[in-house]
Structures are given as structure tokens and as C-alpha cells.
Amino acid sequence: MSEPGRTVRDATFDVLRRHGLTTIFANPGSTEIAFLTDLPDDIDFVLALHEGSVVGIATGWATAMDRPALVNLHTTAGLGNAVGALATARVNRVPLVVIVGQQDRRHLALQPFLAGELEGLAGRYPVWVTTPARPQDVPGAVARAWHEARDGRGPALVIVPSDDWSAPAADTPPGAPAVLYRASAVDPAAVDALTDLVGRAESPALVVGADADDAETWSALVELAERLRCPVWQEPFAARAGFPQDHPQFSGHLPAARARLRQVLAGHDVVLVVGAPVFRQYPFEPGPLVEDGTVVALVTDDAEDAHHSPVDLAVVASPAPVCRRLAARLPERTEAPVPVADRVAPPSPPGAGEPLRAAHVMAALAQRIPAETVVVEETPSTRPDLHRLVPARRPLGFLSAAMGGLGFAMPAAIGVRMARPDQPVIAVVGDGSSLYGIQSLWSAAHYGCGVLFVVLANGRYAIMDRLAEQHGKGGGKPPWPAFTEVSVHGLALALGCPAERVDSYPALVERLDAVVPTLGDRREPLVIEVTVEPERTFPP
């Protein structure tokens, strides 16, 4: 029997505690008042000023914590504002439990103000969506959402009418397991098939992806790569690093265009992809992904990636134990030379009168940041410079948006720092990108998140300018104007976030020398807006 006076809200808080969902990321609305008012002392609330930032902060937090985060959104307007960020969370494979407010159940039939058609609003990006049939089913639905988000690796939505929270709790148990164990054993037949395929290769190559970004998988992949004496490539448009990028055998990021992809992988008879789809690309080019005679195999714990990847052999399993067993089974290729990747030398500092470029900023960062730094990236026109000059040297050393939509880096960096308050976190963001998540700076300042935001300011959407020039006849003319009058550091200051602007290389290195050593202990964010010359070439 339930306790007298015990409500659905009380029962739901017990579910949240059981699953570690004791921090609510939200931008509140009236349909959530009954849920959020007078929170218990052990439930924390994190406010962001736009729903995209709410989901972005939660996404960074869940990524760093490696478990689901709890998001609360306000009916149609809140869910609608958050759809892009929810899509990014899904493509980044980040689990979120999302409680969406709905109008009072007792007059939904009359389509009242603030009611919404919520179940299809986010499309197919949620891994699970439900509106409980009765108030008493809410706690069980939230418990199931935790399992659905974790196993489906994406947002799981529970739509809760506002009056449900005060309804009496049910006597029946919630419709979800209290504890769920997942089998992690590796199928010996799968290892046999991979061993036979890779063992016969004359010139193998490894391609790693975001789903290999953990210490155990990095260790297993290093062992496998060194045993095979083969080059290791990072997948295109990677959200995370799947291999230590300062390792001698790390060869860089695969190109996203098919002709260049074929060229890079030519000569390899077997390409083993670990923790990545095969292959994410943009823009479209005709032709096959690899040359005739190249066999592609995939090891991934994401069944969806396995289902849509055109490979010769796919194994759905946790990558770390598969790669470790594979390395133990394969003979060492002692006759093969160990590949040593060509490293791009950092650019020399600009001379007097020379413009400051993004590559100068990246090189200055790379010379100063410690290996444990988390670098969160959203600078589309200069991402290749960051990849070449700022290698990820530890798991979670690099984080980006696999979806490609803007507005991720600023809030995600805040969420990472909230989850790891003693780890250095730097967001490297274009000024155009920053405007999609600028409201999140208020949260960084209010909650004392010591993130360093380095904003590369060229006053335009530079990558769009280059795309237009590439597409048009004789150099296309973009119809959109520059926005050089926008002051990102001024906007940051207006949101209560410390900020400054630097216009020269000496000023930049002076500020970095002062700030970077403080990042582990820093409890105050800082925006450094750096004036840079727009790039004139399309990123490779």
C-alpha cells in the first residue's frame, strides 16, 4: 500500500534518486510549476536561458558523466526550441531523460492554451516517447525512460500533464526494472571471423570513431595498432577522438569527400573501423567509398550504425574486449615498417603587420594546454586547423557535434565542466557559431563554471562564404552580409560573463599565459574574443 498523501510527484522523485537523476536542467514554464516548486533539498536545479542551451548543457554533462542527464522542457514552445539540440544529442549518442510539460489532463480535449501535439514534434530523434495513460504511470514511465535512453543512447521523452504531479501515487509497482544488467560477453565466432579477415591482410588500416572514446578502448586499440603496425585514422566529422592523436601511428582525420577518401585508403586491403559509422560524408560525390579489393569491417556497439554501414563484415559488440581479444589472437607483423605520420608544423607567429589567423590561435593553445584538457569545438571553417594542431591526448580530450548543427559547443562545455569541476575545459568557437548558444554564458557565470571560451571572430559565416564561392560560376557571391558590428565579448558582458577582446598575437599569448594555468581551479568563466582574418580556402 502507498503511504497516505503520497503523490505521483513524490514517487517520481524516488525514481529519480534511484537512477542518479538528481540534477534538473531546465528553462521553466507554467506547465512545470507543480513539478518544480519547492524541490526537495537533494534535487538540484540548473537554469539556462534558452532550451537549446538547456539540452546542450545536459548533453555535455551526460557525456562527461557517462550516464543519463535529466532535462525538463516546457510543452510545445520548449520542446520545439530544443529539437535541434535533441537531434545533436541523438547523433552524438548521448542519453537524456526528458520530461516535457503538458497542459492539465482534465481539459486537453478542449485544446486549451499551451496544449501541444507533442509526441511527434521532435520527429524520430528521440529513442522513445510516451504520454502515460494515467497519472499513476508517470514514475514507471520515467524509470523506463532511463533504461531507454541508456540502451538507445539518445533522448527518451516522457510527456506529463501538469495535474498528474499532485495525483495520488499508485499501489502497483512501476513498469520498469529497478536494476538491469547488460551482458558484455564477446561472441567467439565474431572474433574468429575478424581474426581470419585481419590476419590475412597484407596492408591493414584502422579507422576509429567517437564510440571508441574511453580509456579501455584506447588501450585496446593502441595494442592492436602496434601489433598490426598500421596507420590509424579518425572518422570524418568525429564528435570525439577514438585514439590518442599524439601516437606516432595516428595519421589524421579521414577526408569527407569520396574521391579523397578512396585516395587515402587506397593500397589497404583491409580497413577495420571501430566505433564509427562507415562513412559519414559531406558534400555528396559519386563513386564508391573505397577502391575495388578493399574489404571493410566494422566493430561497433551501436546497432543502428551497423545496420546502415555498407561493410563486408559487421560485429555489434563492445569495442574494447573485441579489439583486445583480436590483438591477442593476431601475430605481430614484425616485417612491416611502423608508419609514422607526417606532423604539420605549427605556423610561425605572425610578423609585424601580418594578420592573425585561426591557425596561430590553435598553435598558441596547443603549446599551453595540459594533456587532460577537454577541448569542445564549433568552428566549421577552421576545424581542420584545430585537428592538425591540437591533438586529443586523453579520452574526452575532444568533443564536437556530430550532427553539424550550431549552438552545441558553448553549453556543452559548461555541462562538461559542471560534471568535472576540476578538469580544464576550453571551448573553441567561431563568432557565428557562438550566437546560437550565447545565452548559455549566463549559466556559466551564475553557476561558477570556469570554462575558457576562445571565440574566433571574423565577423561572418566564413564557411558559408567559401561554399558559395565554390558553388557559383566564377566565384559565387553570397547574398548574406557580414556582421562585423557584433561584439561577442560585449554580449558576454551583458550576460554577466567576464569577457575581453584581443586583436594581436602578443596580446593573445599574454592572456593565455595568464589564464591557462588557472583552468583546473578556475571558478569563473572567461570569454576571449580573438579577431582573426577570414580564411580564404575551403577546409579539406
pLDDT band at 172 (very low <50, low <70, confident <90, very high): low
Rg for the chain, CA atoms, rounded: 24
Q: Let me know: does 68 contact 132? Beta carbons within 8 Å.
A: no
Say whether pLDDT at 412 is over 60. yes
**d(Cα 363, Cα 365) in Å, to the nearest integer?**
5
To the nearest 10 degrees (0 to 180), the angle between helices 8-18 and 138-152 is 30
Average pLDDT over the chain reads: 91
**d(Cα 61, Cα 18) in Å, to the nearest integer?**
18
Neighbours of 282 (CB within 10 A): 10
> Domains in the chain, please, with CATH?
8-166 (3.40.50.970), 188-329 (3.40.50.1220), 358-531 (3.40.50.970)
pLDDT band at 369 (very low <50, low <70, confident <90, very high): very high
Say whether pLDDT at 210 is over 60. yes
**d(Cα 110, Cα 122) in Å, to the nearest integer?**
23
Say whether pLDDT at 1 is over 60. no
The pLDDT of residue 417 is 98
Q: Let me know: does 287 contact 223? Beta carbons within 8 Å.
A: no
> pTM to 2 decimals?
0.94
pLDDT tens for each residue of 54-70:
999 999 999 999 999 99
Neighbours of 37 (CB within 10 A): 9
The pLDDT of residue 466 is 67
- DSSP character at residue 1: -
Among 160, 164, 174, 176, residue whose Cα is nearest residue 98? 160
Say whether pLDDT at 173 is over 70. no
pLDDT tens for each residue of 487-537:
999 999 999 999 999 999 999 999 999 999 999 999 999 999 999 987 665
- DSSP character at residue 318: -
Tell me if residue 481 falls in helix, strand or coil.
Answer: coil
Q: How far is the CA of 388 from the CAs of 113, 245, 250, in angstroms?
A: 52, 9, 11
pLDDT band at 474 (very low <50, low <70, confident <90, very high): low
